[in-house]
Structure 1
Amino acid sequence: MRLTIRDIRKMKDSHERLVMLTAYDATSARLAQAADIPILLVGDTLGMVVQGHESTIPVTMDHMIYHCQIVARVTEKPLIVGDLPFMSYSINTEQAMANAARLMQEGGASCVKLEGGTEMAPTIARIVDAGIPVMAHIGLTPQSVNQFGGFRVQGRDLETARKLIEDARAVQAAGAFAVVLELVPERLAHLITDMLDIPTIGIGAGIGCDGQVQVFHDILGLFDEFVPRHTTRFAEIGTAIQAALSQYRSDVQAGAFPTEANSFKMDDTIIATLRREVFGVAQELDTDASD
């Protein structure tokens, strides 16, 4: 049975730390479920780690629905959070509700995530009122990276810290069941966590949050274009894959692969008959090349 937002609230109440990880395809989703990751974020970060873009901006609703469908199809247990991509919820509330509904109906997401604080609170409230659970996202909001002038820590001075506190209160009041805090100073994130009744999930926000989220490719060493400070490489899978692929190339070129163990046999008399039919004369059997 799939985890629900009620389960998430209970985990905060019992001081059980939440773990969220991105998943974009069948392989990452299956591995994450096998590792008992309770929350899977089908994030618009797929724009960078899957599609090769420099930011999340080019990701569309159709992209998000496609990847949500895959993750939902191959999992049964984790809560699936679907990201609403750039400009899919900012024009008006009706647009936001329609696209949130698409992620649920067509994509199979359990809930949606959108970026923004006080300015997005009315939209969050309308979506929640329509029966769609919303995870909020404040601090560094990647879809606004051009406005921020890069991936910068938010809330370091008094004015911006107060704004983040206001944002956190607003999204909770609007009905968000949880909030992601991205690139927020640790002590401020801890203060917001203590202040809120809903769970906080940090990324680059320190240990004081109720949970953590990381990008699948970052923690496994699969993405080298940019290694954020907030991540830890729990494995160097990318290096191992590169070495394996190089060995594969070398073995094929050297004639060391495939071996007899990788090949399938055929009756000698059948191949002899086929050789006569193909070449018109009997030829000596090459048993080493038997299929």
Structure 2
Amino acid sequence: MSTTFQIDTSTSRANPTPAPMKRLTVPRIRARKKDGVTEEPLVMLTAYTARQAQLLDAHCDLLLVGDSLGQVIYGLPSTIPVTMEMMANHAAAVVRGSYHSVVVVDMPFGSYEQSPEQAFENAATLLKASGAAAVKLEGGEAMAETVAFLNSRGIPVMGHVGLTPQAVNVLGGYMARGRSDTEADKIVGDAKALDEAGAFAIVIEGVVEPIAIEATKAVTAPTIGIGASAQCDGQVLVTEDMLGMFERVPRFVKKYGDIATVISDTAAQYAGEVRDRSFPGEEQTYQPKK
């Protein structure tokens, strides 16, 4: 991110001015995997707001506007209640806040499963409303026809196999997948089906490592792991998990910071200064002109 700033006169806030740079494209992401190898792994993080996108953008290849915002932003018990309006609004904010990364937006539960035609209508709505470059949908072989339908009509699709949070009610929880031979074969088969259907990348979530590696080797599209393997072609985490915003996170999360403590301590300092009337001080108030 550039170290120069521009003042937003409507809010008096200083926003970082983007350094001149062409935004990455879906074909460039897809081309990072050559002859089955991705020399430089793809970096993806979730983003839900414009400011968050500004801070993450320079470090990522992709920003995912995940339906995990249902839990992270809205305090919902799962991703199931997330709506199209939520996804479109947050994706638009992330697009406005970024200039480098490919922005991918999750299609919420119920917006694509009925038919390829339903998926196209809703995917087109999301992309037009937000300016995002691609959509992500969950499901393997069952969604291959839909992926091909969207791809052939100009909508890039990122697939998602393994632990699929929108199917939590069917799966019975958020356990790791691929422990049985049958389930392992299905995960690899699902990845192949999405690859053949034209998915430009495939998220592999919550899968035992040997199966994640097998799936990665079995497809030409880059795989992006989350709770999978460092041998995937890239990685993604929920940013708030990675920053330490929550006390409990999935075991596959590495906490790179402790932002929750910073926020809590800062709020405590502010509260103390308000209560002892040391804030606001002279520097924060308007005094009569002398």
Structures share fold, TM-score greater than 0.5:
yes
Determine if the alignment matches structure 1 residue 28 to structure 2 residue 52: yes
Q: Give the Å deviation of 1:26.
A: 1.3
Q: Give the Å deviation of 1:262.
A: 1.6
Determine if the alignment matches structure 1 residue 238 to structure 2 residue 249: no
Q: How many angstroms apart in 2 are the aligned matches of 1:113 and 1:15? A: 24
Superposed counterparts of 1:186-225, under 5 Å = 186-224=209-247
Q: How many angstroms apart in 2 are the aligned matches of 1:162 and 1:10? A: 27
User: Which of 19, 28, 39 is residue 43 of structure 2 equivalent to?
Assistant: 19
Q: Give the Å deviation of 1:230.
A: 0.7
2:15 corresponding residue in structure 1 = none
- Moved runs in structure 1, 4+ residues, more than 4 A? none
1:68 corresponding residue in structure 2 = 91
Q: Alignment partner of 2:100: what SS?
A: coil
Q: How many angstroms apart in 2 are the aligned matches of 1:267 and 1:11? A: 61
Q: Are the equivalent residues in 1 in contact too, given 2:71–2:78 (CA < 8 A)?
A: yes
Q: Alignment partner of 1:201: what SS?
A: strand
Q: How many angstroms apart in 2 are the aligned matches of 1:128 and 1:7? A: 16
Residue identity over aligned pairs, in percent, reads: 47
The code of the aligned residue for 2:288 comes to M
Q: How many angstroms apart in 2 are the aligned matches of 1:182 and 1:220? A: 19
1:248 corresponding residue in structure 2 = 270
Superposed counterparts of 1:20-169, under 5 Å = 20-34=44-58, 36-169=59-192
Q: How many angstroms apart in 2 are the aligned matches of 1:56 and 1:107? A: 20
Which 10-residue stretch deviates more, 180-189 or 7-16? 7-16
User: Which of 197, 205, 211 is residue 174 of structure 1 equivalent to?
Assistant: 197
Q: Are the equivalent residues in 2 in contact too, given 1:49–1:223 (CA < 8 A)?
A: no
Q: Give the Å deviation of 1:10.
A: 2.6
Give TM-score, length-normalised by structure 2: 0.90
Q: Give the Å deviation of 1:11.
A: 2.1
Give TM-score, length-normalised by structure 1: 0.89
1:227 corresponding residue in structure 2 = 249
1:277 corresponding residue in structure 2 = none
Q: Give the Å deviation of 1:176.
A: 0.4
Q: Alignment partner of 2:32: what SS?
A: helix
1:261 corresponding residue in structure 2 = 283
Q: How many angstroms apart in 2 are the aligned matches of 1:9 and 1:42? A: 19
In the alignment, structure 2 segments of 5+ residues that lack a partner are 1-21
Q: How many angstroms apart in 1 are the aligned matches of 2:208 and 2:289? A: 71
Q: Which has the larger radius of gyration?
A: 1
Q: How many angstroms apart in 1 are the aligned matches of 2:126 and 2:103? A: 10
In the alignment, structure 1 segments of 5+ residues that lack a partner are 269-291
Q: How many angstroms apart in 1 are the aligned matches of 2:112 and 2:31? A: 29
Q: Give the Å deviation of 1:74.
A: 1.6
The code of the aligned residue for 1:228 comes to P
Q: Are the equivalent residues in 2 in contact too, given 1:183–1:203 (CA < 8 A)?
A: yes
Q: How many angstroms apart in 2 are the aligned matches of 1:7 and 1:240? A: 37
